[in-house]
Amino acid sequence: MIRILAKAVVVTALFCAGGSFGRDAEQLEIGSAKIFIEFEAEPPLHLHELVRDWVKASAHAVTIYYEKFPVNEVHILLRLFNGRGTRSGHTNGWKGSSIRIAVGKSSTTSDFAEDWMMTHEMVHLAFPSVADAHHWIEEGLATYVEPVARARAGDLTPEKVWGDLMEGLPKGLPGPEDQGLDFTPTWGRTYWGGALFCLLADIELRKRTGNRKGLEDALRAVLAAGGTIETEWPLTKALRIGDDATGVPVLSELYEKMKASPSPVDLNDLWKQLGVEKKKGRIQFNDSAPLAATRRTITSAERDSIH
């Protein structure tokens, strides 16, 4: 099967309309979804185009991963600060989807190219709101899917993605007092512990299906069943829908294992299995490692993913 090609995802800029900030909003269309971009105050002239391209690139990556933009309509509300870069992203599904994010007035093309925050926030759109105890799945998905989606869109190299996972995932390992993901709401366990759950699920899904199904197949099914941030679901419902779609109960089983006990993971062994090595500060891949094909499938750009 040939999966959708990156270039087949078209994002078009349309017209202006009144926005939530009471100012004009620019509207982008991606498939049948509408994205409204609204500034709280008039930004410097150069920022309009940079922000538009940034939102487009993020929407493009998320659409490649999920095979559709997650919600029919989202309002992106931009605040401005003096300086460069992005800050304080927050996504909300109450009374329609919105993403609030602050943008530095002096930001340049490279600041937006390096930014992960907009894609992270858009990934939040693609999963139902769950009880506070499961906040780790919301942040874990956003932390894990964001770089994978950008790699598939060709915006990040696999070396960058695996290097960042190698650096970040140790922060998600259980400490001595750990009581499992549902009962240890620390920053590390919420963001990186959740991301570890996602990576382990992705690998196990590919192991059990001969690399034919991955985490994205489960997540696309959740989305197809209406599981966006605009709804509230029990976590078990989302996991069951994902498992039904892939034909293997990987998500439910992994949740049972990790929800109330520490479940330590030997990350060094995992990198060895995947064929990811760090030598003299550079990431190198070993294609004869047992899970090398799994690693390649997870971060290959879509134009290469013909199978």
The binding site for Zn ion (CB under 5 A) comprises: 139, 142
81 strand-pairing partners: 104
Residue whose C-alpha is closest to residue 168's, from 137, 199, 138: 199
Q: Which is nearer to Zn ion, 139 or 230 (CB)?
A: 139
Which SS3 state, helix, strand or coil, does residue 76 take?
strand
Strand blocks (E) in the chain: 11-18, 24-30, 33-39, 73-81, 86-92, 97-104, 276-279, 282-285
Nearer to Zn ion, 69 or 271 (CB): 69
Cα–Cα distance between 106 and 222 in angstroms, integer? 39
- The nearest distance, CB 166 to Zn ion, in angstroms, is 21
Residue nearest to Zn ion as judged by C-beta position: 142
Smallest distance from the beta carbon of 194 to Zn ion, in angstroms? 10
Using the CB atoms, write b or e for 228-266: b if 16+ within 10 Å: bbbeebebeebbebbbebbebbbbeebbeebbeebbebe
Residue pair 81/102 in contact (Cβ under 8 Å)? The answer is yes
- Output 142 or 270, the one with its CB closest to Zn ion: 142
Q: How far is the CB of 291 from Zn ion (least distance, A)?
A: 28
| In the complex, minimum distance from the CB of residue 141 to Zn ion, in angstroms, rounded to a whole number | 9
CB of 123 to Zn ion, least distance (A): 8
Least distance (Å) between residue 114 CB and Zn ion: 18
Nearer to Zn ion, 139 or 178 (CB): 139
Sheet strands side by side (includes 86-92): 11-18, 24-30, 33-39, 73-81, 97-104, 86-92
Q: How far apart are CA 93 and CA 232, in angstroms?
A: 9
Strands 73-81 and 33-39: parallel
**Closest to Zn ion by CB, 9 or 142:** 142
Structure tokens, 17:
């309309």
Q: Which is nearer to Zn ion, 102 or 283 (CB)?
A: 102
| Distance in Å, CB of 246 to Zn ion, minimum | 25
Q: 42: which DSSP letter?
A: P
Residue with Cβ nearer Zn ion (132 or 287): 132
